[in-house]
Amino acid sequence: MPASRSPWLHPAAKPLLFVVCALPFAWLLYGAFADTLGPNPAEALIRGTGDWTLRFLCLTLAITPLRVMTKQPALARFRRMLGLYAFFYAVLHFLSYGWLDMGFDLDAIVRDIPKRPFALVGFLALLLMAPLAATSFNRAIKALGAKRWQWLHKLVYAVVLLGLLHFFWMRASKNNLAEVFVYAVVIALLLGWRIVHALGRKKAG
């Protein structure tokens, strides 16, 4: 399909995606006020925001393979929004932990994070996401230069692996690894495709 006729270039595509990406937040917010999050709403909020962080990271990484395999270059225009939503849900995840688990006690948070490996890797992932979010704008690309910007944004691979490790350690303590396995397979496929694709381009060049 020619790019000019691609539905991904429709003016409503980005606003629609923005609304769809905000729906999980709206649902969690509604659940918190309507008391429909189950017997432990604090855990539901922390877990829900964490789950959506990992999902949006996977969606962000899925854009490039989908763009290449479907020959739809217009899909690339959604990657920035998905990445920023991943950061948004990661910040909500951390704030939910800081508020609902720690009562926004900064000293307690600083002491708690290094003591728990899953919290430490999760916090490290959030720190690595911050410069990616801060440079997800055209002005940042111009300031850094395209090559430096591209190298910086390769941190997303470390972020998604740290996010997976964070999820694994959290679930391992509860002996519940079914969802972890699903995410691990998805992430392995997304990163594996990139390796194969890069090797193919290297041979072709």
Q: Which residues of 13-46 are buried (b: 16+ CB within 10 A; e: fewer)?
A: beeebeeebeebbeebeebbeeeebeeebeebbb
**Could you write out the DSSP letters of every residue in 112-160?**
HHHH-HHHHHHHHHHHHHHHHHHT-SHHHHHHH-HHHHHHHTTHHHHHH
Model pTM score: 0.94
**Domain residue spans of the chain:** 3-204
Rounded to an integer, the average pLDDT of 183-195 is 97
User: With bands split at pLDDT 50, 70 and 90, how would you rate the model's confidence at 3?
Assistant: very low
| Phi–psi pair at 34, nearest 5 degrees | -90, 0
C-alpha span between 180 and 182 (Å, rounded) = 5
Tokens of residue 186, six digits: 């998805």
pLDDT value for 4: 53
pLDDT value for 205: 63
Residue 2: pLDDT over 80: no
Residue 93: pLDDT over 80: yes
- pLDDT digits 0-9 by tens, 113-143: 999 999 999 999 999 999 999 999 999 999 9
